[in-house]
C-alpha cells in the first residue's frame, strides 16, 4: 500500500526535476505540490520522466464530463494503437474523458498522473465517485498530484487552477471532446499560451457536446485522426529511425541521414536538406529560398514538398513546414 500522507515538494525545488521544471515558466507557479505514490522509486520515475534509462514524453488528455460513445471509442482506439510508446498520460480524475484517459492508460500500460481539483486524502478527493479509480491508479504504480494539502475540500476555482498545471507539464495536449462552455477549453487555451501542441479529435458538427472542440480545430488546433498524429505532436518517431530521432553529431546517425537523402530525387533532396537546416520554416519563405539557391521554380518546389509530405517526412500546418518523421 502507498503512504497515506503525501510527499510535499516546494516551488524552490521544482528545478531539480524534469517533470516539474516547466512549471517555472508559467505566470502563476504553484507554491508547492503534493504527491502520492506507492513508493519513492515510483515517484522518482515520474519526477525524472524516466523508466529503465529511457525518457518519456507527456500527453495531457482532457474532455467532456458527459462524453459521447463516439469519443470513448475514439480514445480507446488511439490509446490501444499507441501502446508500447514511451508516453505518460496526464488527466484530472474527473468523470467522463478524464476517467477514460486514466483507465485507458492503465489498460495499455502507460504511466499515468492524476491531478484532481482537491486534496489527495480519499475522504476529501473529488469526485468521491472516483476514489476507487484513484486507488487503482496508485496500486498500478502510478501517481496523484495536487497543489492543495491532503485534507483540502474541492472548491469551484480549483478546477481551472489545476488546468494550468496539466497544460504546463504536458509536451502536448489532446482534446477528445468539449462543449462550448467546457472547462476543457481553459486547458487548451493555456497550453497554446505555453507554446504546447494542442490536438483535437474531430466530431459531428451537429453535436452540442463537441462545439467547443470543433471550434478549436477551426482556430488552428491540430487534427488528430490516428496515433501517428499524436506521435507527431509529441515529436516521437514511431520506429525510432526517422529524422526527429537522429543526432546529426553522431556518425551513425549521419550515415542514416545520408542514406535517406540518397533515395530521394534531386528536388526532394534539396528541399529536405533546406528544411533540416532551417528547422520549422514559413512555406513562402522556403519557396523563395529554393528559387534563390537552387533555381527551382514554383511548380517543382510544390511537387517536391507534396512528395515529401506523402512519404511522411514533412507536414504543412498553418503555412509552416516542419519535420515530422
Contact 133, 163 (CB under 8 A): no
Q: What is the pLDDT of residue 256?
A: 65
C-alpha cell of residue 296: 527551382
User: Within 10 A of 159 (CB to CB), how many other CB atoms are there?
Assistant: 17
Tell me how far CA of residue 87 lies from CA of 90, 215, 217, 220, 226, in angstroms.
10, 27, 24, 24, 16
| pLDDT tens digits for range 76-131 | 999 999 999 999 999 999 999 999 999 999 999 999 999 999 999 999 999 899 99
pLDDT above 60: residue 240: no
pTM for this prediction: 0.76
Q: What is the percent of the chain with per-residue pLDDT over 90, rounded to a whole number?
A: 64
Which residues are CB-contacts of 289 (< 8 A; sequence separation ≥ 6)?
274, 278
Q: Does pLDDT of 70 surpass 90?
A: yes
- Which is nearest to 230 in space by CA: 123, 126, 116, 77? 77
Q: Which residue has the higher pLDDT, 259 or 30?
A: 30
The arithmetic mean of pLDDT across residues 186-192, rounded, is: 93
pLDDT value, residue 199: 95
Return the number of other C-beta atoms located less than 10 Å from residue 224's C-beta.
Answer: 23
Q: For residue 252, what pLDDT band results from cuts at 50, 70 and 90?
A: low
Calculate mean pLDDT across residues 298-319: 84
Q: Which residues, in sequence order, are CB contacts of 299 under 8 Å at separation 6+?
A: none
Q: How does pLDDT run across 132-145, given as a tens digit for each residue? A: 999 999 999 999 99
Taking residues 27-36, what's their average pLDDT?
95
For the chain, give the percent of residues with pLDDT over 70: 92
Number of Cβ within a 10 Å radius of residue 17: 16
Indicate if the pLDDT at residue 259 is higher than 90. no
Q: pLDDT tens digits for 267-276?
A: 998 888 888 8
Residue 47 has pLDDT above 60, yes or no: yes
Amino acid at each position: 500500500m502507498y503512504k497515506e500522507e503525501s510527499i510535499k515538494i516546494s516551488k524552490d525545488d521544482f528545478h531539480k526535476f524534469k517533470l516539474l521544471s516547466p512549471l517555472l515558466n508559467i505566470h502563476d507557479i504553484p507554491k508547492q505540490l503534493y504527491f502520492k505514490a506507492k513508493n519513492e522509486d515510483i515517484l522518482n520515475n515520474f519526477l525524472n520522466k524516466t523508466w529503465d534509462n529511457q525518457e518519456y514524453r507527456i500527453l495531457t488528455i482532457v474532455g467532456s464530463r458527459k462524453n459521447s460513445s463516439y469519443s470513448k471509442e475514439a480514445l480507446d482506439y488511439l490509446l490501444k494503437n499507441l501502446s508500447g510508446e514511451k508516453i505518460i498520460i496526464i488527466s484530472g480524475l474527473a468523470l467522463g474523458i478524464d476517467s477514460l484517459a486514466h483507465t485507458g492508460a492503465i489498460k495499455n500500460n502507460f504511466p499515468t498522473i492524476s491531478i484532481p481539483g482537491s486534496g489527495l486524502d480519499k475522504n476529501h478527493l473529488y469526485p468521491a465517485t472516483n476514489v476507487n479509480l484513484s486507488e487503482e491508479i496508485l496500486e498500478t504504480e502510478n501517481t496523484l498530484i495536487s497543489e492543495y494539502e491532503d485534507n483540502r475540500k474541492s472548491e469551484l476555482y480549483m478546477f481551472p487552477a489545476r488546468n494550468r498545471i496539466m497544460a504546463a507539464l504536458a509536451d502536448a495536449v489532446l482534446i477528445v471532446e468539449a462543449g462550448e462552455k467546457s472547462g476543457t477549453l481553459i486547458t487548451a487555451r493555456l497550453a497554446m499560451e505555453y507554446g504546447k501542441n494542442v490536438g483535437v479529435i474531430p466530431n459531428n458538427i451537429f453535436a452540442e457536446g463537441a462545439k467547443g472542440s470543433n471550434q478549436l480545430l477551426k482556430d488552428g488546433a491540430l487534427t488528430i485522426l490516428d496515433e501517428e498524429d499524436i506521435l507527431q505532436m509529441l515529436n516521437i518517431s514511431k520506429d525510432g529511425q526517422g529524422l526527429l530521432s537522429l543526432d546529426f553529431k553522431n556518425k551513425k546517425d549521419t550515415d542514416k541521414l545520408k542514406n535517406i537523402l540518397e533515395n530521394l530525387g534531386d528536388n526532394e533532396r534539396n528541399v529536405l536538406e533546406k528544411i533540416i537546416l532551417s528547422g520549422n520554416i514559413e512555406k513562402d519563405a522556403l519557396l523563395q529560398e529554393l528559387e534563390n539557391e537552387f533555381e527551382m521554380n514554383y511548380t517543382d518546389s510544390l511537387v517536391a514538398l507534396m512528395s515529401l509530405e506523402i512519404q511522411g517526412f514533412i507536414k504543412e500546418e498553418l503555412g509552416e513546414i516542419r519535420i515530422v518523421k
